[in-house]
Amino acid sequence: MSEDHHDHDHHHDNRYSAMQARVKALETVLTEKGLIDPAAIDAIVETYETKIGPRNGAHVVARAWSDPDFAEWLDRDATAAIASLGYTGRQGEHMRAVFNTPDTHNLVVCTLCSCYPWSVLGLPPIWYKAPAYRSRAVIDPRGVLAEFGLTLPENKKIRVWDSTAELRYLVIPERPDGTEGLGEEELAGLVSRDAMIGTAVAGVPA
């Protein structure tokens, strides 16, 4: 058993953009005036975090599972392969896909801030940005995965990838057994956001 740490010396983008700062300020003012309900905003954000946003990435994974040529392209040039499906934009200009195998499980973190591929995963979850995850994912990835409910065999290597402002990662989980007859839409339904970060594995057919 071993844990590999993939480090980068590129800079991280850890400041709000002008648009993000404006949104934060507007949300604060509207909340103070009683014009919006923070709980409703949280519910909307959660929907984009866990449902709407990650559908893009799930489509990428499903295509890779069902099309060997696309999987090879994704492995060779993830940015171009993902863009061919229409998923581009800020926070996802330079992508790398990392493939889980029977021998290796991949986990993505951003140790300095919260660099994250918005174009394929939507909004980053709060825990991804938390200092505890950002530090412990590198030091004790096996323990962190166990806290997410994912216990891996001791002989399976865990490789940790550190996202930066220049390069972001998408985990391609292993295709579950018993999915040979499923189409892309059904396959995509088995792929969660967490599986594409590496804190979970793909689901199994009902």
Provide the annotated active-site residues. 110, 113-115
User: Which tokens sit at 62?
Assistant: 């499903």
Q: What are phi and psi of 126, to 5 degrees?
A: -60, -40
Beta bridge partners of 109: 162
**Is the separation of the CB atoms in 170 and 191 below 8 Å?**
no
Contacts 24+ apart (CB under 8 A), 184-190: 184/59, 184/62, 184/63, 184/66, 185/62, 187/61, 187/62, 187/65, 187/66, 188/55, 188/58, 188/59, 188/61, 188/62, 189/58
Q: How far apart are CA 143 and CA 140, in angstroms?
A: 5
In 3-state terms, what secondary structure has residue 192? Answer: coil
180: burial class by Cβ within 10 Å (0-12, 13-18, 19+)? exposed
In 3-state terms, what secondary structure has residue 163? Answer: coil
Residue 157 Cα to chain centre, angstroms: 19
